[in-house]
Amino acid sequence: MAIEKITGLTTPFIQETVKPKSDVAEFASVFGEFIGSVNDDQLKSSQITREFINGEGVEIHEVMIAGEKAKTSLELLMEIRNKTIDMYRELTRMSI
């Protein structure tokens, strides 16, 4: 029984690469769009609530749905912010 040579493992397993700036710009773009959508949800909730109060034919369930959507998206944004701050603190603690 012959043992064959293993090929294809000539490159190192860990390669240190620098991310191109396009990844940073892409993340900023996605995050910016998310912040914009949270703002839109807040404005839409406020508008629907105002229309309901003025008696413009908006049902109460539409007000509640818009309010909960705005609340949930804002809570998600706050959690992302908190996790980002925690990650930054951890990275700075590791580099000291």
Q: What is the pLDDT of residues 23-82, one digit of tens each?
A: 778 888 988 999 999 999 999 999 999 999 999 999 999 999 999 999 999 999 999 999
DSSP 88: H
Write down the H helix ranges in the chain: 21-53, 60-95
pLDDT exceeds cutoff 80 at 12? no
**pTM listed for this prediction:** 0.68
pLDDT of residue 34: 93
pLDDT of residue 90: 93
Distance CA 58, CA 62 (A): 7
